[in-house]
């Protein structure tokens, strides 16, 4: 099969298409023909080698962490999927590789695709939607009436997190550039701060939750806007000893993470707040919950650009430029799919008017 691989780690590595063996299918696996995948910042971090101590992949490595496609074959122990099913998934992080024609994924990580999404739209959701769910629902336990600050509202995680937070009944503040203010307002943001003009610490006060996806400066400044007992949750680091324990990392690496996160953990404790690092995981059951929200119209994907499979390197470079609105999709199979412009709002289409697209 054709796959997009890297032969070595490095920020300047562009990757290339290469013939690779078709994946082996275990008893609990689903073999999926991939119609579309999407690009995440995580792909860039893996490519540069940032996670090679935590995720020791074997090179050459097929990149890609999101997919939508059709089930080709199921393992002997799989009962809930059948060949021909249209599905989407975020593979387990030790079995990535969605920039390819086929992938074998644990059945427990897969969900049926919503009928009112094309393959391209479905491929844009798993990683960012699961991240938003695991931050806001699982970790923060966000409640109706609480206030949440979601950084980078026009990004992949931000566009979904705003919609999920509003569905949960929260009051939502976010940051974005001037060009994307209308977009994040259309997703439900109550307060929008143009980061080019204003410092969010001068505008926001007494927030219950902050979802940090940016750098150390924003991480430390976020503590200033939390109320006592507030929760700062970061998906960009630094990782904590608790994270190391859940990953089963070696003692020396656990101590390294303890040192890296000591500063923010200490500051949060001193401020009467809590700091948590979340590294999202594959979860088919949670993805089913997200599918229900998509079908109900509570969440819609926001897609910036579509690239063909042979241009995967260009898709990665575009995301690396830091200006993508929502998600960037890579299509392996030609899709009858025309995304709504990311700068415009639209209601999620229903099955009758849109379900045939991307089939």
Q: Say how far apart CA 201 and CA 196 lie, in whole Å.
A: 13
**What pLDDT does 54 receive?**
86
The whole-angstrom separation of Cα 166 and Cα 179 is 22
CA angle (98, 283, 318) in 5-degree steps: 35
Residue 301 has a pLDDT of 97
β-partners of residue 70 are 33, 86
- Give one word for 40, left, alpha or beta, with left for phi > 0 and alpha for psi -120 to 50: beta
Domains annotated for the chain, with CATH where assigned, are 2-125+301-354 (3.90.180.10), 127-277 (3.40.50.720)
Separation between Cα atoms, residue 228 and residue 273, nearest integer Å: 6
- The pLDDT of residue 356 is 26
Nearest to 209 by CA among 121, 110, 142: 142
**Which of helix, strand or coil describes residue 167?**
helix
Give the span between the Cα atoms of 134 and 44, in whole angstroms. Answer: 21
Sites in the chain below the pLDDT cut of 50? 335-359
- Exposure pattern of 164-199 as b/e (b: 16+ CB <10 Å)? bbbbbebbbbbbbbeebbebbbbbbbebbbebeeee
Residues 147, 207: contact at Cβ < 8 Å?
yes
- For residue 5, CA distances in Å to 135, 202, 310 come to 30, 45, 12
pLDDT at 351: 29
- Res 105: pLDDT: 98
Q: What is the model's pLDDT at position 337?
A: 45
pLDDT of residue 334: 60
- β-strands 303-308, 207-212 pairing: unpaired
What's the rounded Cα separation, in Å, for the pair 59 and 6? 7
CA distance 333 to 182: 32
Q: pTM of the prediction?
A: 0.92
The predicted structure's pLDDT at residue 350: 33
Q: Is the sign of the CA dihedral 177, 139, 262, 202 positive or negative?
A: positive
* Backbone phi, psi, residue 44, to 5°: -70, -40
Among 332, 345, 313, 309, CA closest to 119: 332
């Amino acid at each position: 099969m054709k796959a997009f691989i890297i032969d070595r780690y490095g920020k300047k590595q562009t990757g290339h298409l290469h013939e690779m063996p078709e994946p082996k299918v275990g008893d609990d696996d689903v073999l999926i023909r991939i119609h579309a995948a999407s690009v995440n910042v995580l792909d860039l971090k893996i490519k540069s080698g940032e996670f090679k101590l935590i995720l020791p992949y074997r090179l050459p490595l097929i990149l890609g962490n999101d997919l939508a496609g059709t089930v080709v074959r199921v393992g002997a122990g799989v009962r809930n999927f059948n060949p021909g099913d249209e599905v989407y998934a975020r593979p387990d992080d030790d079995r990535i590789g969605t920039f390819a024609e086929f992938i074998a994924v644990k059945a427990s990580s897969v969900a049926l695709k919503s009928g009112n999404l094309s393959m391209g739209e479905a491929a844009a959701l798993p990683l960012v939607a699961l991240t938003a769910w695991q931050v806001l629902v699982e970790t923060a336990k966000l409640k109706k009436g609480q206030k949440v600050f979601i950084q980078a509202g026009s990004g992949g995680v931000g566009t979904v997190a705003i919609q999920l937070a509003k569905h949960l009944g929260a009051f939502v503040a976010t940051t974005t550039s001037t060009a994307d203010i209308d977009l994040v307002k259309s997703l439900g943001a109550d307060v929008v701060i143009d980061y080019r003009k204003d410092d969010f610490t001068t505008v926001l006060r007494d927030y219950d939750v902050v979802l940090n996806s940016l750098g150390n400066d924003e991480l430390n400044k976020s503590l200033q806007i939390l109320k006592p007992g507030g929760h700062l949750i970061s998906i960009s680091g630094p990782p904590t000893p608790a994270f190391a324990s859940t990953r089963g990392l070696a003692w020396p690496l656990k101590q390294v993470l303890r040192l890296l996160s000591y500063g923010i953990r200490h500051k949060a404790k001193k401020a009467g707040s809590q700091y948590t690092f979340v590294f999202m995981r594959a979860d088919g059951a949670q993805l089913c919950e997200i599918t229900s929200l998509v079908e109900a119209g509570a969440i819609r994907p926001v897609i910036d650009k579509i690239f063909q499979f042979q241009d995967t390197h260009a898709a990665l470079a575009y995301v690396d430029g830091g200006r993508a609105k929502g998600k960037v999709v890579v299509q392996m199979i030609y899709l009858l799919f025309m995304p709504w412009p990311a700068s415009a709002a639209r209601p999620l289409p229903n099955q009758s008017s849109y379900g045939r697209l991307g089939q």
